[in-house]
Structure 1
Amino acid sequence: MDTFRKYLKSEHENQLTQPDWGVNVLNVGHYIHPIGKDYPDPSHPSDYYFEWSKGRVLSEYQLVYIAAGTGIFEAEHIGAVAVQPGTLFFLYPDVWHRFKPHNKTGWTEYWVGFNGSYANHLMQQDCFNPARPLIHMGFNAEFINIFIQLIDTIKFSGLGSNQLGACLTIQLLGLVYASALLKAQSNSRKMQVINNIKYSIHENLNSDISPELLAAKHNVSYAWFRKAFKEVVGQSPGQYQLNLKVQKACRMLTETDLSIAEVAYQNGFESEYYFSRLFKSKMQLSPSKYRNEFYQTVNHDETQL
């Protein structure tokens, strides 16, 4: 596909002679920015050109999709974020921003700038948030095809091009919205599965149930479970399980008169030796010394009363 860009607003084309559908397409384009060249290139109209050191503020919305290459994006509400192929980002009216491809990769970009009453309504939906302007779409053939139709519509400026351009822009926003909802649902399911597995771990602390068995009982693969668990909880399932067992052992050592061997057994450890070695690595004290120091502290506090 040939590169193309058109800035209707800058060319003072009258968009009011045709019915207003609530979304006005102000500019649209597809551009392949070459490796090692300054960005943006000087052919941008003055209303859109910016220097990296200063950034830019627009009076319109823009949807920018990076089909290939890598770069960096930064905006008023977020710090610098790496841009990978398949990433799209939104630019919001009156919000400072800047972005550029890496010199060693360049990038291929599609964009559309728009405004209007219905555009304002759409961009107030939950998934469109200036604090979260980046969404990873990945490669989406339908999304690219609609962008190409939009570019062709504006390029040839036929009868009803404004209305068709508005429809295609709404379709693009609809696909982004659907993608964001699917991602949210996926994250919601992930949280539900992990919370259910965490409950199972708590319920089986006195046994030596394996992470592989936990995954199978919840109908997920072990590879997915291990990755998802670490993303949600911040540690591996095995470490989470061990830490809970050690916490329970601490309570048993200070609240009961059970022997070290009995505490080890009731927490599902295969031997007193293994339990003591693991306990010391986690608490920096052996089980017996942990118990003794606890009692010494309690006795000292009681004598001070």
Structure 2
Amino acid sequence: METDINIKYLIANKQDKLWGMTVTTVGYQRIEPHSVYPPQNHPSEYLFSPYKGRTLEEYVLLYIVNGNGIFSSDTHKNVRLTTGSMLLLFPGEWHNYAPDPSSGWDEYWIGFQGNNVEALVQNGFFSKQKTVFNVGPSLEMVQLFRLAIRVAAKQKSGYQQTLAGIANLLLGMTHSLDKSQAFNQSQHIQLINKAKLIMFENSHTNITAEEVANRICMSYSNFRRNFKQYTGLSPHQYLQEIRIQKSKELLAATNLTCQEIAYKTGYESPIHFNTLFKKKTGLTPSKYREYYQRQESHSINRPISPEE
């Protein structure tokens, strides 16, 4: 996966603002251990010194996917951040944060403003007194952030309304998951959720189920049994499903060759990729691309009936 995706300068017109929320920025960064933070490619208008901090004009949700660090603000001092921490940064509130040099971290963010979020704050759902939420490792959260990144990159007509919906859903899930964590979700479920996230984030590599078990400090036999009980799939099957789904996205949305897609989705060889893809879908990768493009072309060119 890319080490950084910064999408800024998202434009909102008067009509967009009437929707109740507009999105200003969305992105992802991987901060390697012992590297400079923030990196030089950080969006300039969001750049800050780790010694001086900064103040923003909008709200920002920042999700720590992997790693540890420290957060401080006008209201909070030296709050510990870990994998699964979600920050809600408030406009006009000085803040500062940074990963531990020894661990680095992966971060996703989305910035937004508008009447919708102001109403949530006014009604007590969010406040400056609680800006760090323990949502835990969540593949669903990561998928929503990555969906927002794809929508912002394409900027099709009405994209601001789609981004507003994603931001609202992220806020709702943050509120809900934080409350759920207070009920002390079992340690096994937390570890399985962490394993799912590790597999999703590293599916472009040749990571194995045994390596995932080692990273969550669980024996492979226990990991395999608990994972299958929780998901209905073995870790190996789950990893293959992720790779197949990602390869479908790349076949449908890019012009990458099947060989390039094979390597980008963690397969050791194009032949192995072709064999597994056909076994799972009934089509070779090239036939799947042809079928998808034919269906999309048919949808675009299909005349609209009066009833529609």
User: Is TM > 0.5 for Structure 1 vs Structure 2?
Assistant: yes
Q: For residue 8 of structure 2, what is the aligned residue in structure 1?
A: 7
Deviations 1:105-148 (A, max 9, x none): 11000000110111211233434221221111111222222111
User: For the structure 1 residues 64 and 125, does the alpha-carbon distance in structure 2 shift closer, same or farther, using more than 3 Å as the test?
Assistant: farther
**1:59 partner SS:** coil
Q: 1:30 aligns with which of 8, 28, 31?
A: 28
Q: More deviation in 53-62 or 19-28?
A: 19-28
* Residue among 53, 56, 72 paired with 1:55: 53
Equivalent residues in 2 for 1:270-289 (5 A)?
Answer: none
Aligned to 2:101: 103
Query: Normalising by structure 1, what TM-score?
Result: 0.56
Q: Deviations over 1:209-234 (max 9, x none)?
A: xxxxxxxxxxxxxxxxxxxxxxxxxx
Question: Does the C-alpha gap of structure 1 residues 107 and 160 become closer, same or farther in structure 2, counting only changes over 3 Å?
Answer: same
* Match among 120, 131, 143 for residue 122 of structure 1: 120
CA distance in structure 2 between the aligned counterparts of 1:125 and 1:145, rounded to whole angstroms: 28
Q: Structure 1, residues 144-200: CA drift from partner, whole Å, max 9, x if none? A: 22111111111111121111000111111111121234346x38xxxxxxxxxxxxx
1:251-292 deviations in Å (ceiling 9; x for gaps):
xxxxxxxxxxxxxxxxxxxxxxxxxxxxxxxxxxxxxxxxxx
Cα distance in 2 for residues equivalent to 1:176 and 1:164: 18
CA–CA distance in 2 between the matches of 1:82 and 1:67? 14
Matched residue SS, 2:35: coil
Pairwise CA RMSD: 1.9
4+ long deviations beyond 6 Å: none
Partner of 1:51, secondary structure, is coil
For 1:97 and 1:150, the matched residues in 2 are separated by 24
User: Does the 8 Å contact 1:7/1:26 carry over to 2?
Assistant: yes
**Aligned residue identity for 2:47:** Y
Matches of 2:112 and 2:123 in 1, distance apart? 16
Bigger-Rg structure (1/2): 1
Q: Which residue matches 1:82? A: 80
Structure 2 letter corresponding to 1:158:
K
The aligned amino acid for 2:52 is K
Supply the AA of the counterpart residue of 2:133.
Answer: I
State the 1:66 CA deviation: 0.2
Could you list the per-position Cα deviations for residues 282-303 of structure 1 after superposition, in whole angstroms to 9, with x for gaps in the alignment? xxxxxxxxxxxxxxxxxxxxxx
The match for 2:178 among 177, 180, 195 is: 180
Q: Is the 8 A contact 1:75 1:97 kept in 2?
A: yes
Q: Give the match for residue 140 of structure 2.
A: 142
Cross-structure match for 1:67: 65
The DSSP-based 3-state class of the residue aligned with 1:78 is coil
Per the alignment, residue 215 of structure 1 pairs with none
Aligned match of 1:294: none
Identity %: 31
Q: Distance in 1 between matches of 2:46 and 2:165?
A: 24
Partner SS for 1:139: coil
Q: In structure 1, what is the Cα distance between the partners aligned to 2:16 and 2:96?
A: 34
In structure 1, stretches of 5+ residues that fail to align are: 188-305
Post-superposition offset of 1:35: 1.7
Whether the 8 Å contact between 2:12 and 2:160 is mirrored in structure 1 is no
Q: For residues 14-50 of structure 1, give each alpha carbon's deviation from its aligned partner in whole angstroms, at most 9, with x where no partner exists.
A: 5436463111100000110122122111223432111
CA distance in 1, matches of 2:51, 2:16: 40
